[in-house]
Structure 1
Amino acid sequence: MSKKKGNIAEDLACEFLENNGFKIVERNFYSKFGEIDIIVQKDKVLHFIEVKSGENFEPIYNITFKKLEKIIKTINYFLMIKNITMPYQIDAVIVNEKIEIVENITF
């Protein structure tokens, strides 16, 4: 997927999240370990969002064990440098014909 299409998917995901009561904390947080697409907060819980989109396949399957490992390392780094101790979870927002959230993803 091109960077442009990825940015469009992330913009749509942000709009979806805000419309569902999430507050955007940060977008595109980078570390040497990887990237978090969107960080949001709702009900005193941080949600680290991986955005996936695509056509003619299920984008959720692009979240691999290796990708999740990078996300977790990046989350730990984010929490450390921001000195945050609140509860969190890892979610995915799938942008396809419709937009949906898959909460608390893990392997």
Structure 2
Amino acid sequence: MSRSKGDRAEERAVAFLVEQGCRIVARNVTSRFGEIDIVAEYNGVLLFVEVKSGRGFEPIYNITPAKLAKLIRTIAWYVQKHRIETPYRLDAVIVRNGACEWVENITL
């Protein structure tokens, strides 16, 4: 997927999360381990959100075990750096044809 398509999907995901009542905390957080697309707060829980989009296949399958490991390491770095003491989890927003699906706690 091209960077511009990814950017559009991420913009759509941000708008969707805000519509659902989330407060966006940060975007495109980068560490030496990887990148977190969106950090948001929802009902007292800090959400680390991976955005995936595509056509003709299930984009969620692009979150491979290797990708999950990078995300988890990046989240651990972020939590330590920002001294996060609130509950947090890793979610995904799947963008297909402009519609969004929010998948909670993708590490289970």
Normalised by the length of structure 1, the TM-score is 0.97
SS in 1 for 2:85: coil
Structure 2: how far apart are the matches of 1:74 and 1:82? 12
Structure 1 residue 93, shift from structure 2 partner: 0.1
Structure 1 residue 106, shift from structure 2 partner: 1.5
SS in 2 for 1:66: helix
SS in 2 for 1:78: helix
Structure 1 ranges of 4+ moved more than 3 A: none
* Residue 41 of structure 1: aligned partner: 41
* Residue 17 of structure 1: aligned partner: 17
Does residue 80 (structure 1) correspond to residue 60 (structure 2)? The answer is: no
* Residue 65 of structure 2: aligned partner: 65
Structure 1 residue 11, shift from structure 2 partner: 0.2
Structure 2: how far apart are the matches of 1:9 and 1:50? 11
Q: Which amino acid aligns with 2:63?
A: I
* Residue 103 of structure 1: aligned partner: 104
Structure 2: how far apart are the matches of 1:61 and 1:34? 18
Q: Which amino acid aligns with 1:15?
A: A
Structure 2: how far apart are the matches of 1:88 and 1:15? 21
* Residue 93 of structure 2: aligned partner: 93
Structure 2: how far apart are the matches of 1:20 and 1:106? 21
* Residue 51 of structure 2: aligned partner: 51
Q: Which runs of 5+ in 1 are unaligned?
A: none
Structure 2: how far apart are the matches of 1:60 and 1:70? 16
Structure 1: how far apart are the matches of 2:12 and 2:39? 14
Structure 1 residue 24, shift from structure 2 partner: 0.1
Structure 1 residue 19, shift from structure 2 partner: 0.2
Q: How high is the sequence identity, in percent, across the aligned residues?
A: 53
Structure 1: how far apart are the matches of 2:90 and 2:79? 13
